[in-house]
Amino acid sequence: MRTRTLGNGGPQVAPVALGCAGMSDHTGPADEADAVATIHAALDAGITLIDTADFYGMGHNEDLIGRALCGGRRDEAVLSVKFGGLRDPDGAFVGIEGRPAHVKNALAYSLRRLGTDHVDIYRPSRLDPGTPVEETVGAIAEMIEAGHVHHVGLSEVSAETIRRAHAVHPVHDVQIEYSLFSRGPETSGILDTCRELGIGVTAYGVLAHGLLTGTYRQPAGGDRRAGWLPRFHPDNLAANLALTDRLRPLADAHGITVAQLATAWVIARGGDTGDIVAVLGARRPHRVTDALAAAEVTLTEADMAAIEAAVPAGAVAGTRYAAPLMALLDSES
């Protein structure tokens, strides 16, 4: 698989990454055998960047990845780990923590669960409003010097915060929601700032949490997305699915699915340097095959224009998250 460097001097990665949240959280746990097989299928195919967080399943996700990588496969993976999301015993998010002591404590537990002596990219999941980002990144830098971390990452932060963090220690990757339904990084200066500073971007939510798959219609029993993702709310869902349907003829013209077209669009937005990597959630091995096909699609300027005309920036109904979660996003400030 074609690879690219994630940020100046960062790790070599494929144009797609494997997001593992769905294996432990959000829409219900995956079958563990399927999850391990999915991680193995990704590695076998050359997908090296594996994204997780210590709060996905309250440690379950890291345990799962650790089991998948045992037996000599650790060196095949670039592990991206988020920290700082605080949860109560019922799973509810109750805050963000970025104090230096927490950085080191959380890392110690992540290393134990993952069964490794280092993580490749370590990042706060959100900006802690009570801790200067310089202190959080400074603590990660200390862990880099100690050999426990290789690269600094950030997630859901503003252009100003990126600059402040980068002044403390080079940042190699900023993770941000970016899709045809979430174009904010284009207008907020986040993408421009990352390119100016030589920072890679890992785009999550590429399929808008399922809305851009082309197969989602109505929530099934147990689907909790409408509660925390307003775009799934009944007041917004029909309009958003109609936008997705406008992509179908364009996908058909390429002989691919709507999901593959939406993914290919995100990858193509990385331009000639390929500075955007699409993080795709998968719980079963065949989803890896779908992602690989999207990475091989070549979109012309005319294709890109047609896609963006079908789904204009700002046309989606509803905010990215419910109000309490939006308030945690420095990237929206």
Report pLDDT digits (tens) over 245-268: 999 999 999 999 999 999 999 999
Residue 26 has pLDDT above 60, yes or no: no
CB neighbourhood size of 312 (10 A)? 12
CA 199 to CA 33: how far, in whole Å? 35
CA 307 to CA 238: how far, in whole Å? 19
CB of 49 within 8 A of CB of 81? no
pLDDT for the residue 219: 64
Residue 30 has pLDDT above 80, yes or no: no
CA 297 to CA 274: how far, in whole Å? 14
CA 37 to CA 266: how far, in whole Å? 26
CA distances from 184 to 176, 316, 327, 331 (A): 9, 12, 15, 9
Using only C-alpha atoms, the chain has a radius of gyration, in whole angstroms, of 19
Over residues 263-317, the pLDDT tens digits come to: 999 999 998 888 999 999 988 898 898 888 999 999 999 999 999 999 999 999 9
Q: Predicted confidence band at 325 (pLDDT cuts at 50, 70, 90)?
A: confident
CA 137 to CA 132: how far, in whole Å? 9
CA distances from 210 to 6, 118, 156, 213 (A): 26, 32, 20, 5
Q: Is 178 a catalytic residue?
A: no
Q: Predicted confidence band at 222 (pLDDT cuts at 50, 70, 90)?
A: low
| Segments forming the whole domain that contains residue 43 | 4-332
Pick from 69, 50, 39: nearest CA to 6: 50
Please report, for the domain that includes residue 10, its CATH number: 3.20.20.100
Residue 29 has pLDDT above 60, yes or no: no
Structure tokens of 132? 């200067």
CB of 203 within 8 A of CB of 176? yes
CA 204 to CA 271: how far, in whole Å? 18
Q: Predicted confidence band at 223 (pLDDT cuts at 50, 70, 90)?
A: low
pLDDT for the residue 216: 84
The helix (H) or strand (E) run that includes residue 133 is: helix 133-145
Dihedral angle sign, alpha carbons of residues 230, 97, 141, 150 = negative
CB of 330 within 8 A of CB of 157? yes
Supply the mean pLDDT for the chain: 93
Mean pLDDT of 104-128: 98
Question: What length is written for the chain?
Answer: 333
Pick from 128, 184, 119: nearest CA to 161: 128
CA 40 to CA 43: how far, in whole Å? 5
Q: Select the more confidently predicted residue: 109 or 322.
A: 109
The helix/strand count (H/E) of the chain reads as: 14, 12
CA distances from 225 to 28, 34, 128, 140, 231 (A): 11, 23, 25, 33, 9
pLDDT for the residue 221: 57
CA 23 to CA 36: how far, in whole Å? 9
Query: Which of the residues 56, 122, 204, 321 is marked catalytic?
Result: 56
Over residues 54-89, the pLDDT tens digits come to: 999 999 999 999 999 998 999 999 999 999 999 999
pLDDT for the residue 215: 87
Over residues 119-167, the pLDDT tens digits come to: 999 999 999 999 999 999 999 999 999 999 999 999 999 999 999 999 9
| Number of domains the chain is built from | 1
pLDDT for the residue 287: 86
Over residues 180-204, the pLDDT tens digits come to: 999 999 999 999 999 999 999 999 9
In whole angstroms, what separates CA 235 from the centre of its chain?
A: 27
SS (H, E, C) 293-330: HHHCCCCCHHHHHHHHHHCCCCCCCCCCCCHHHHCCCH
* CA angle at 226 for the pair 223 and 231, rounded to the nearest 5°: 130
CB of 198 within 8 A of CB of 6? no
